[in-house]
Amino acid sequence: MQWKILLTDGLAAISDEALLAKVDLVDKKGISAEELLEVIGDYDAMIVRGRTKVTEEVLAAGKKLKVVGRMGVGVDNIDLQAAKGHGVTVVNAPVATTVSVAELTMGLMLSLIRGITKADAGIKAGQWLKKELVGTELYQKTLGVIGYGHIGEAVGKRAKAFDMNVIAYDPIRPAEEITAAGATPVDLDTLLAQSDLITLHIPHIPPTHYLLNAEAFAKMKDGVRIICAARGGVIEEAALLKALESGKVAGAALDVYETEPAGDSPLAKHPLVVDTPHVGAQTKEAQLRAGHDILSEVVAGLDEEPLRWQVA
């Protein structure tokens, strides 16, 4: 028997022939919400990225639906309570993109403190901005990592290679595990007060919505720098913009926004912000790993085998 699986946002090429033999993959990349409701009843499973919204309505229409797979980490586009109510298992691929996001985070950090994007734009415009581009070093700075899971830990290890002092706040992970992974566990207020740079690696869920808000910025050092390659919505963008304009925050590097594409966002256009268009997971290696990981996990769910990454 082949399981019929709908791909709503594409899937990297899979080379595992034994795995492919178990499935009938139907690629409807870019499918509209309306069409999804019309066809989902024909499928045993679906694999999505962040674009596709798996709502109560979609789950109710999926009469045969047993498993929803999310390529990558975040599952904020899937109604987890509705999935439980309809007996649908939700899985993700949380480790496939770890290296790619961690490397981008370090790249954003370096671009931010050394003005790399401004330097590049200046040269391309025929300007030699040498005197204006006085940066700072990562060496011996304190990096506060909010969320010390797979990606946060990977960032922490790379930061240690720059001789940074790494402190971490994670409300779920035990302190002894954070210590064993090379960081100093602290509470959130301590992290905000002590960090020279703060990077976020947390999902966007109700408890983390606007985790960095006006109150949080007020607790930070003057001249702090913010990096976020996690999810839009964990930072209150209006509060960050005010903090940049007041000088409280010296700069920010953002791969994610509350609304994407960022469009005419004044924060995205601010001269002290380095922007990338949600490309944290966009490497060839990460996509290959994520494709294999999520398909194998979805098939395991369909076959009622043990799961590694069940979310709901």
Exposure on the CB side of residue 268, measured as CA atoms within 13 A: 16
Largest CA distance in the chain: 68
Exposure on the CB side of residue 10, measured as CA atoms within 13 A: 6
Choose among 151, 96, 102, 157: nearest CA to 308.
96
Amino acid in the structure at residue 121: A
Catalytic hit among 225, 231, 289, 292 = 231
Choose among 246, 260, 274: nearest CA to 74.
260
Cα–Cα dist 89/312, whole Å: 6
Catalytic hit among 114, 173, 270, 278 = 278
| 8 A C-beta contact, residue 258 and residue 233 | yes
Cα separation values, 204 from 58, 61, 230, 272, 303, Å:
21, 26, 8, 24, 30
DSSP secondary-structure letter at 255? S
* Known active-site residue 150: no
* Known active-site residue 57: no
Exposure on the CB side of residue 91, measured as CA atoms within 13 A: 28
* Known active-site residue 260: yes
Catalytic hit among 260, 285, 305, 308 = 260
Residue 273 backbone dihedrals phi, psi, to 5 degrees: -115, 130
Residue 10 backbone dihedrals phi, psi, to 5 degrees: 80, 170
Q: Which residues are known to be catalytic? A: 231, 260, 278
